Amino acid sequence: MVRSGSESSDRQTARVPAVDSSAPSRPTTTEPHAATKFYGRWARLYDLLATWLPGVRDVRRSVAAACGLSAGDTVVELGCGTGSNLGYLSERVGDEGRVIGVDITPEVLALAADRTKDLENVSVVRGDATRPPLDTTEPDIDAVVATFLVGMLPDPAAAVSTWCDLVGPGGRIVLANATTTDHWSAPLLNRAFRAFVVCSTPPTTQVRYDGNLVAQLETRVSTAHERLHDESRATVDSRHAMGLVRLTGGIVGEPGG
């Protein structure tokens, strides 16, 4: 079941931060939102890629490990998409823990809800990752995860700061994002990566040959990861999938790592 940002989840418990009743039930970004339209149309194809692309499962396992979760913890995944990370996070927090997936696109959330329907500790909610629909007065979020999201946000550094505030000092943030690689097969991989970026960046209503798209993505990704470094002690900084995915995990409030 997909829940709107203003509805509470029947799978939530007192341990889970309540969905903020002051949060908008619809995303605050301008509608029709390019990402929502794009992922709404391509939800099933994206799900296949998100599950089966070479190396992507290792990324998801590494992301879950980097959260440093314990049984009973609460973890929020922002921009959770079709839910490919949610099972890995669910395993880490166990039956007493909670996993909350947030995404702006109803169609991907429906797939995420279906994928996790047998996981009692997982709930999904529609909302904008830059204004997470969660009650920040409850200090119960142990970790925030965002994979392949920050490159789509207009101000990724501000978003990371918002997430740091959400978890508070001692909380963990984990980011994973695609970027160019310096792997030995970089010429081939980077060409494929650039083509993938052009084809998969919303809106795709026109054929673009804009090299700046990759530069813009990389700037956003590095800005977000640098902000996380600034606001935390980096506990993990690693490359995956032949160097194409950068993973950074940090503990908030302990800068300088």
Ligand X SMILES: C[S@@+](CC[C@H](N)C(=O)[O-])C[C@H]1O[C@@H](n2cnc3c(N)ncnc32)[C@H](O)[C@@H]1O
**Interface with ligand X (CB under 6 A):** 29, 35, 39, 50, 79-81, 84-85, 103-105, 108, 128-130, 147-149, 152
In the bound state, the residue with its beta carbon closest to ligand X is 81
Nearer to ligand X, 40 or 253 (CB): 40
Q: At what angle do helices 106-115 and 34-52 cross, to 10 degrees?
A: 30
Nearest CA to 131 out of 154, 147, 148 is that of: 154
- As beta bridge partners, residue 144 has 76, 173
Task: Quote the least distance from Cβ 170 to ligand X, whole Å.
Answer: 24
Task: Quote the least distance from Cβ 99 to ligand X, whole Å.
Answer: 13
- Phi and psi at 97, nearest 5°, equal -90, 175
Nearer to ligand X, 50 or 93 (CB): 50
Cα gap 96→195, rounded to integer Å? 43
Nearest CA to 176 out of 240, 111, 251, 252 is that of: 240
Task: Quote the least distance from Cβ 31 to ligand X, whole Å.
Answer: 12
Task: Quote the least distance from Cβ 112 to ligand X, whole Å.
Answer: 9
Helices (H), 101-167: 106-115, 156-167
Nearer to ligand X, 205 or 256 (CB): 205
Task: Quote the least distance from Cβ 80 to ligand X, whole Å.
Answer: 5
Nearer to ligand X, 162 or 254 (CB): 162
Nearer to ligand X, 245 or 251 (CB): 245
Residues 117 and 90: beta-carbon distance below 8 Å: no
Helices (H), 116-242: 156-167, 186-200, 212-231
Residue 194 has which token pair?
Answer: 């650039």
Nearer to ligand X, 7 or 96 (CB): 7
Task: Quote the least distance from Cβ 117 to ligand X, whole Å.
Answer: 18
Nearer to ligand X, 149 or 166 (CB): 149
Q: At what angle do helices 56-66 and 86-93 cross, to 10 degrees?
A: 30
Task: Quote the least distance from Cβ 236 to ligand X, whole Å.
Answer: 17
Specify the pairing of strand 245-252 against strand 74-78. unpaired
Specify the pairing of strand 74-78 against strand 98-103. parallel
